[in-house]
Chains A and B, each alone.
Chain A
Amino acid sequence: MTAALRRIWGLMYRHLALYRRSWPRLLELAYWPTLQMCIWGFTASFFAGRTGSAGIVTLGMLLGGVLLWEVALRSQMGVAISFLEEIWSRNLGHVFVSPLRPWELVVALIAMSVIRMAAGVLPAVLLAWALYAFNLFAMGPVLILFAINLMIMGWWVSLGIVSLILRHGAGAEALAWSVLFGITPFAAVFYPVAVLPGFLQPIAYALPAAHVFEGMRAAIAGETILWGHLAAAAGLNLGWMAAAGLLFARQFRAARIRGALLSIGE
């Protein structure tokens, strides 16, 4: 293992050891996705029962939206909360005086977010199959592309949040739980972008999620794969990720100038 990989693994091991010792943390990972699945699943089942076959398709779109949006939410929280764990344990000083490079820190946080996302979303996927006979994987291999794009969106949003925490301290930590929820109306998770007022549609189309969910609805409805939307999502993710990376690098340097890395939890 190279030194860089070992440092990345070191930070991942720190978080995995934490989860091994804390069942409430493990439970929390799956709690919200499962709860969301129950609430939306039963609601959609009720409406589907009253509206016939069209309702069945709508049920699938809603459940697919819930599950895939959880992929983005859990990926975003996975990065932000792993970073916050370092602040809460007042350990950042030790981490930042080790040879761990900032990009290695980001890779370790992203790797942890993948693990956290999988641990959170997979139980909800199984529940959707068991309770509502909804098989997310029936969409086929394109599902992987949808999920990857939503994960990347979660990562750049969280890099933006980590940058704000570096700038404003732990006072900005509430953003870790709220930012992506605030984006939800524009992400077109549960309805097509066309439903939004005209002046909001450009905002929606600036978000990779809106393109992913347009594609998901087409896939669930049995239509052709909307490669244009997928390409747009990937291109937007590339741009947003680059912008978030630059913002993080800039705020990390600014924190080193202000001396914020030692006092960030105060």
Chain B
Amino acid sequence: MDAISVTALSKRYGETLAVDGIDFAAAAGSTIGLLGGNGAGKTTTIAMLLGLLIPTTGRIAVLGHDMATDRFAALARMNFSSPYVALPHRLSVAENLRVYGHLYNVRHTERRIADLADQLDLHGLLDRPAGDLSAGQKTRVALAKSLINRPDVLLLDEPTASLDPDTGDMVRSWLERYRAESGCTILLASHNMAEVERLCDQVLMMKKGRIVDRGSPSDLLTRYDRDDLEAVFLDIARDRRRGDDA
């Protein structure tokens, strides 16, 4: 069974078609990259996967649960991280993690917080207000929040935004290890092409609400005759024909 199954999904806001009839599936344990320029429909797609947004048409199933009728069963086994959605600034990091430990009904919350602090190097931050942290520290804390319930499906929006190269690499290694150990399915929206190339099994290239191409990073590189995904991304964004030079 696919961990995520999306069929004929679209979202219309008035005259604007933000997502236009997309289909995709993510096998359990895979990492899917969602790529596209601003306004391509990535955030709208993620919001629909999380149940924050009701699709205009189409169907989403996560871990076998229809998101239209049974989203809470799926949400208990999912989680989400985005630098654009904050955690309460005045609460300490530990308090924030405790809140989400309760919301996700995590057993042995304190032990889980200690484990995450070990793994993401948060021990020095636990008693500090979340609002006092640097951007990189906030990203690590947001990642810890997204892992508090050991999710089976993890949706990440720009997971290494604002991180220095060393910390970014640490987070990527950690995500790779977490996926290998837990069998978690990850859907990742990122503008960091090297990150997508490293982490993702499949890449969905979005433009104007549609999936305009898809495949493994190596397939896409071969198909577009490029050396890196950034060049592929630019080819698609600028409507260059495959294999054309700039």
Q: Which of A100, A261, A262 gathers most chain B CB within 10 Å? A: A262
Contacts of B91 in A (CB 8 A): 14, 17-18, 21
Report the bound CA distance from A21 to B94 in whole Å.
13
Q: A6 to B54, Cβ gap below 8 A? A: no
Q: Is A91 interfacial (CB 8 A cutoff)?
A: yes
CA distance A21 to B90 in the complex (A): 7
| Cα A67 to Cα B54 with chains together (Å) | 44
Give the contacts of A1-18 with B (CB-CB under 8 A). Answer: 3, 6-7, 9-11, 13-14, 17-18
Report which of B76, B79, B88, B89 forms a contact with A14, defined as CB distance below 8 A: B88
A98 touches B103 (CB 8 A): yes
A174 contacts chain B at the CB level, 8 A cutoff = no
User: Contact partner of A94 among B80, B90, B101, CB < 8 A?
Assistant: B80
Query: Is the CB–CB distance between B86 and A6 below 8 Å?
Result: no
Q: Report the bound CA distance from A9 to B104 in whole Å.
A: 11
User: Are A13's CB and B99's CB within 8 A?
Assistant: yes
Per-position 1/0 for B40-52, Cβ under 8 A of A: 0001100100111
Nearest-neighbor residue (CB-CB) of B43 within chain A: A262
Taking a contact as CB atoms under 8 Å apart, the answer to whether B95 and A17 are in contact is yes
Which residue of chain B is the closest to A257 with respect to CB atoms? Answer: B54
Which residues of chain A are within 8 angstroms of B86 by Cβ–Cβ distance?
89-91
Cα A97 to Cα B100 in complex, Å, equals: 11
The proximity string for B residues 132-154 relative to A, scoring 1 for CB distances below 8 Å and 0 otherwise, is 00000000000001000000000
Residues in B with CB closer than 8 Å to A85 are 88
- CB distance A97 to B95 under 8 Å? no
In the complex, chain B residues whose CB is within 8 Å of the CB of A7: 102-103, 105
CA distance A261 to B53 in the complex (A): 8
Q: How far, in whole Å, are A22 and B76 apart by their CA atoms in the complex? A: 31
Q: How many of chain B's residues have a CB under 8 angstroms from any CB in A? A: 35
- The contact of A11 among B54, B79, B103, by CB within 8 Å, is B103
A95 near B103: Cβ-Cβ < 8 Å: yes
CA distance A95 to B75 in the complex (A): 11
Which residues of A sit under 8 angstroms from B88, Cβ to Cβ?
A: 14, 18, 85, 89, 91
Q: Is B226 an interface residue (CB 8 A)?
A: no
Max chain B C-beta neighbours (<10 A), residue from A11, A94, A96, A99: A94
Q: Which residues of chain A are within 8 angstroms of B129 by Cβ–Cβ distance?
A: 21
Q: How far is the CA of A256 from the CA of B67 in the complex (A)?
A: 13
Q: Does A258 touch B at the CB level, under 8 Å?
A: yes
**With contact pairs A94-B80, A261-B52 given, residues A10 and B85 touching in the complex (Cβ less than 8 Å):** no
- The A214-239 residues at the B interface (CB cut-off 8 A) are none
Q: Is the CB of A101 closer than 8 A to any CB of chain B?
A: yes
Contacts of B51 in A (CB 8 A): 96-97, 256
Q: Does B78 contact A (CB under 8 A)?
A: yes
Chain A to chain B contacts (Cβ below 8 Å), 19 pairs: A10-B99, A11-B102, A13-B102, A14-B88, A14-B95, A22-B90, A89-B88, A93-B80, A94-B80, A97-B51, A97-B78, A100-B103, A256-B53, A256-B54, A259-B44, A259-B47, A261-B53, A262-B52, A262-B53
Query: Besides A7-B103, A99-B76, 7 other CB < 8 A contacts?
Result: A7-B102, A10-B100, A11-B99, A17-B91, A99-B103, A259-B44, A261-B53
